[in-house]
Amino acid sequence: MNVYGLIILSGLIFEFILHRIAEFLNLRYLNAPLPPAFQDVYEEIEYRRAQAYHRVNTYFEWISSTWDFILLLGFWLAKGFNALDLWIRSFHFHWIWNGLLYIGILGLAKSIFSLPFEIYHTFVIETRFGFNKTTPRIFILDHLKALGLSIVLGGPLLAGILAFFQYSGKWAWLYCWVVTIGFSLFLQFIAPTWIFPLFNRFTPLKEENLRKAVFEYAHSVGFPIKDIFVMDSSKRSTKANAFFTGFGKNKRIVLYDTLLSQHSESEIISILGHEIGHYKLKHIVQNQILVILHTGILFYLLSLFLSQKGLFTAFYMAHPSIYAGLLFFGLLYTPIEFFLNIAFHWFSRHNETQADRFAVKTTRTPETLIQALKKLSVHNLAFPTAHPFYVLLNFSHPPMLKRIQDIQLFSKLQYRESK
């Protein structure tokens, strides 16, 4: 194994060990008593269920991640990457078809080997804790639809990237960057009306009082909205949420139908205030800029390493190729991606705090938002706290107790300023 192989292997082991350490530390946090801030909504038995839910999911993550790690390492050391490439080349297809087949087969194989874990998590763990509403039919159709979208949408994009790197010389990375970002923006534009409805039904909010309250609030904060939609999330899970998606004429706010059944009108307005806050505070634009920059850096670095024979030698490849180089560079990039994710998670947590503050400032009802967040915690069995190291590696949102404490502090400062 050459230096590239050692770097990749070290990076994979480093990330694997750090995540397991973080999970171990977080398990100890699960023994903490119920925080006083949650005693008005969390009954002791439900708190115990939340502790058990997170323990079970942590143990499950240990097993599934270890399986993925062993599978990758075994396939690598058994020279599986080269064997698959030689088998595909034996059919004498065009090299672009070779690339599509190579990456497609590896992606499909990973999905198949992960399928038993996904089935167990959905139909055993989620069912045990009262969340799962997915039927086998919905489960199968979801996977078939996702596979179809990967082929129809991902296939042409991958073929274009391969062609650019083959024929466009030193500026290939730039062309790939522009095309990929354009394709991503196109997907964001069509997703609310063409892709999401393949998986869920979206209907305009019909409850007149809530609908009126939503439009009045949106108008008061200068948020242009044509309609608000309800998603039939209850056919898969009892968990509740809301989200903002799309842009331009296709932007929309979506409420889970489970959210409507679990929260009052004022609580839903507070939750929407948080989501609208992301839009008004330019978080969506900021995230898009970060994605664009990150994608450009990725393609530029990829262009530098595709010509490095040592990268292919590390995986015992008889024939260097662009399509194999895409995969191997992704593994080489693992240590950098690990630290970038920490930075992205920190930035996301900061934005979530700002969105909470926007909701408090515009609705002027901090206690309502706090109550809504507490209910979300109880209904989703979200644990109020987490170990700081686990938060650092995994959380895109602050722990719920931290969010509530920040809202309380911010509302006090707002009150003092108004005096």
Is 55 part of any domain?
A: yes
Burial class (CB in 10 A: 0-12, 13-18, 19+), 259: buried
List the end-to-end C-alpha distance of the chain, in Å, as a whole number: 69
Q: Is 224 helix (H, G, I), strand (E, B) or coil?
A: coil
DSSP letter string, 166-214: HHSGGGHHHHHHHHHHHHHHHHHHHIIIIIGGGTS-EEE---HHHHHHH
Residues 6+ apart with CB under 8 A from 147: 108, 111
Q: Tell how far CA 268 is from the center of its chain.
A: 23
Largest CA distance in the chain: 79
d(CA 58, CA 64): 10
Host domain of residue 331? 1-132+293-419
Is the separation of the CB atoms in 206 and 197 below 8 Å?
no
* pLDDT per position as a tens digit, 213-251: 999 999 999 988 877 899 999 999 998 888 877 666 556
Whether the predicted pLDDT of 148 surpasses 90: yes
pLDDT tens profile 164-215: 999 999 999 999 999 999 999 999 888 888 899 999 999 998 888 998 999 9
DSSP calls for 2-17: -HHHHHHHHHHHHHHH
- pTM here is 0.91
CA-CA distance, 399 to 77, in Å (whole number)? 40
Q: Which tokens is 80 given?
A: 């599986």
Rounded to whole angstroms, the Cα distance separating 260 from 364 reads 21
Fill in the DSSP letter of residue 237.
B
Instruction: Give the pLDDT band (50/70/90) at residue 415.
Output: low
**Amino acid identity of 40?**
D
Burial per residue of 184-219, b for 16 or more beta-carbon CB atoms within 10 angstroms, e otherwise: eeeebbeebeeebeebbeeeebeeeebeebbbebbe
pLDDT digits (tens, 9 = 90+) for 46-105: 899 999 999 999 999 999 999 999 999 999 999 999 999 999 999 999 999 999 999 999
Distance, CA of 262 to CA of 258 (rounded, Å): 6
CB neighbour list of residue 403: distance below 8 Å, 6 or more residues apart: 352, 353, 356, 373, 397
What pLDDT score was predicted for residue 112? 96
Whether residue 252 is predicted with pLDDT greater than 80 in this model: the reply is no
When computed from its CA atoms, the radius of gyration of the chain, rounded to whole angstroms, is 24
Mean pLDDT along residues 113-130: 96
pLDDT over 80 at 414, yes or no: no
Structure confidence at residue 94 (pLDDT): 95
* Cα angle 269, 189, 200; round to 5: 60
DSSP 8-state symbol, 125? I
Q: How many domains does the chain have?
A: 1
Is the residue at 8 inside a domain?
Answer: yes
User: What's the rounded Cα separation, in Å, for the pair 319 and 311?
Assistant: 12
**How far apart, in whole angstroms, are the C-alpha atoms of residue 240 and residue 256?**
6
Residue 311 lies in a domain: yes
Token pair 């999911």 is at which residue? 57
Let me know if residue 204 belongs to a domain: no
What does the pLDDT look like over 88-115, one tens digit per residue?
999 999 999 999 999 999 999 999 999 9
Q: What is the pLDDT of residues 308-323, one digit of tens each?
A: 999 999 999 999 999 9
- Summarize pLDDT for 149-166 with one digit per residue, the tens: 999 999 999 999 999 999
Which two three-digit tokens encode residue 101? Answer: 């087949």
Write the CB contacts of 220 (distance below 8 Å, at least 6 apart in sequence): 362
Task: Provide the pLDDT for residue 418.
Answer: 66
Asked if the structure places residue 164 within a domain, the reply is: no
Q: Which helix or strand (DSSP H or E) is residue 334 part of?
A: helix 334-363
Does residue 130 carry a pLDDT above 80? Answer: yes
C-beta separation of 99 from 152 below 8 A? no
pLDDT at residue 246 in the model: 64
What whole-number distance in Å separates Cα of residue 392 and Cα of residue 22? 9
Residue 392 is assigned to a structural domain of this protein = yes
Q: Which of the four pLDDT bands, split at 50, 70 and 90, describes residue 261?
A: confident
Q: Do residues 353 and 403 make contact, with C-beta atoms less than 8 angstroms apart?
A: yes
3-state class of 256 per DSSP? strand
- Cα separation, 27 vs 54, in Å, equals 8
pLDDT tens readout for residues 9-59: 999 999 999 999 999 999 998 988 889 989 888 888 889 999 999 999 999
| Beta-bridge partners for 237 | 132
With tokens 């763990």, the residue in question is 125
Q: What is the pLDDT of residues 395-411, one digit of tens each?
A: 999 999 999 999 999 99
Q: Is there a contact between 129 and 351 (Cβ–Cβ < 8 Å)?
A: no
Q: What are 39's two structure tokens?
A: 């005693």
List, for residues 279-336, the tens digit of each pLDDT value: 999 999 999 999 999 999 999 999 999 989 999 999 999 999 999 999 999 999 988 9
Strand order in the sheet with 242-245: 202-204, 228-231, 252-256, 242-245
Distance CA 313, CA 262 (A): 56
- 139 domain residue, yes or no: no
Tell me 242's DSSP state.
E
pLDDT given for residue 193 in this prediction: 84
